[in-house]
Amino acid sequence: MSLIGHWLNIYCFKHSGALHRCWDRGLVLANNADYLVVATKKAKVVESNGRRWFTKEPAVTIFSKKEWWNTICMFKKEGICYYCNIASPSVIDGDSIKYIDYDLDAKLFPSGEIRLLDQREYLHHKEKYKYSEELDTILKYTLDKIVSLMKEKKFPFDDKTIEDYYDQFLKSLSNEQHGN
């Protein structure tokens, strides 16, 4: 069954298996052996502590199925802002996308500036959840690779590709509203 055009819930877990946060739904725009692309607009987010909020900007998210990352591409006034989570490869489970978040994050701003985030939180969880040497190596390697892709503006940090997915999302929403 093709998932394109279907709405999926998104669940983010911690290494312990505890639910970290969930998004109410994302529209599947692409699905292949390597990644799943979904888009959201004013998605409801529920945190593990019960706090609820809605996303401010529309976003296209690329969930890697083979590599240790997913990237949220947020459409802001100044341009696309990329927030890359270092995370387990994503899996599709029924009507849900699931992954484990490993705290290390990299953010690429429209200006080209790159910021590494949550490194203290990563060290804390590495000790708390007893990440193996192998896992630690994979996560750090992935972060280095992501930063290189950001610098080179290669997929998934390619504005043109992400804008094309967003246009596809808007057309899908319009068709949904008009019953097509």
Whole-prediction pTM: 0.94
Residue 55: Cβ-neighbour burial (10 angstroms; 0-12, 13-18, 19+)? middle
From first to last of its 180 residues, the chain has per-residue pLDDT tens of: 579 999 999 999 999 999 999 998 899 999 999 999 999 999 999 999 999 999 999 999 999 999 999 999 999 999 999 999 999 999 999 999 999 999 999 999 999 999 999 899 999 999 999 999 999 999 999 999 999 999 999 999 999 999 999 999 999 988 877 765
- 21 in catalytic set: yes
Residue 43, amino acid:
A
Catalytic residue among 21, 25, 52, 120: 21
**Token digits of residue 40:** 């959201």
Q: How far is CA 131 from CA 60, 87, 105, 135, 136, in A?
A: 30, 13, 17, 6, 6
Cα(129)–Cα(16) distance, rounded to whole angstroms? 7
